Structure 1
Amino acid sequence: MFTLGNMFVLMLLAAGCAWLWHNHGLREKALERVKRHCASLDLELLDENVAFKRLAFVHDGKGRKRLARVYGFEFTVTGEQRHQGSITQFGAHSAHIELAPYPIQIQTPPSAHVVEMSQWRQEHKRWKP
């Protein structure tokens, strides 16, 4: 027989499954935001993954404390070292992305072609009267 207690347990399980499904969607949104952020800074997102770190009360842009999900991820600049990063989300909206200090690769301009003066004089001889 289907009792009220059985119905309560069934509804509790359905609510838990819906909550897990919703959290998975939020994690996917955080992953997409981190991928775009890393691409804009020319960083490589390692493991193509964000991992849930904690559920905490965090100050939002207006200074109020709100419940937020914090996800962690790892990135690299050179491919040799792993650096930590985190993204904070209030629901489906990303609050901010924080990156650990990392070395910046400076693009050096191609070296100028150096010409020896004697070689230049040979190539640019002028006819002398």
Structure 2
Amino acid sequence: MLTLENLFVLMVLASIGAWIWHNHGLREKALERVKQHCAKLDLELLDDAVALKRVGFVRDAKGKKRLARIYNFEFTVTGEQRHPGVVTQFGAHTMLIELAPYPFEINTPPKATNVVEMQQWRQQHDRWHP
């Protein structure tokens, strides 16, 4: 026979299971957003994972405190060093993705050979002082 106490325990277990299932879906959305962000910046997401750091209240863009999930992840630029990152989510919406400072190369074009320095040009074309 199903008693009221047994029904209550089943409801609590079902609620916990639903909460875990919902959190897994939110973690997958956070992982997808981090992958997109890393791909856009030409970074490599390490371990292909995000890990829940904490659940707590965080101020949103309007300054209002809302319940947020904060996930940690690691990325690399060169494949040699790991750098930490954090993604903050309000439900399924990503608020912020923060990356720790990391080294990057600035690709400057090679100096053109047909460029003449101004000082050199003045010396060659100075009419008044030979």
Q: Quickly name the TM-score band, shorter chain normalised.
A: 0.7 to 0.9
- Kindly report the root-mean-square deviation, in angstroms, between the aligned alpha carbons of the 2 structures: 1.4
Query: Given the alignment of the two structures, is residue 91 of structure 1 paired with residue 65 of structure 2, yes or no?
Result: no
Q: Determine the structure 2 residue equivalent to 1:117.
A: none
In structure 2, give the amino acid aligned to 1:82: R
Q: Determine the structure 2 residue equivalent to 1:76.
A: 76
- TM-score when scaled to structure 1? 0.83
Q: Determine the structure 2 residue equivalent to 1:49.
A: 49
Deviation at 1:111, TM superposition (A): 7.9
Deviation at 1:110, TM superposition (A): 5.8
Unaligned residue ranges in structure 2 (runs of 5+): 114-130
Query: Given the alignment of the two structures, is residue 5 of structure 1 paired with residue 1 of structure 2, yes or no?
Result: no
Unaligned residue ranges in structure 1 (runs of 5+): 114-129
Identical amino acids, percent of aligned pairs: 73
CA distance in 2, matches of 1:50, 1:41: 18
* Cα offsets for 1:48-78 (capped at 9, x unmatched): 0000000111110100111100000000011
- 1:109-128 aligned within 5 A: 109=109
* Cα offsets for 1:3-41 (capped at 9, x unmatched): 000000001000000000000000000000000000000
CA distance in 2, matches of 1:44, 1:34: 10
Q: Determine the structure 1 residue equivalent to 2:124.
A: none
Q: SS of the counterpart of 2:71?
A: strand
Q: Determine the structure 2 residue equivalent to 1:59.
A: 59
In structure 2, give the amino acid aligned to 1:105: E
Deviation at 1:109, TM superposition (A): 3.8
Count of equivalent residues? 113
CA distance in 1, matches of 2:111, 2:78: 22
CA distance in 2, matches of 1:48, 1:111: 40
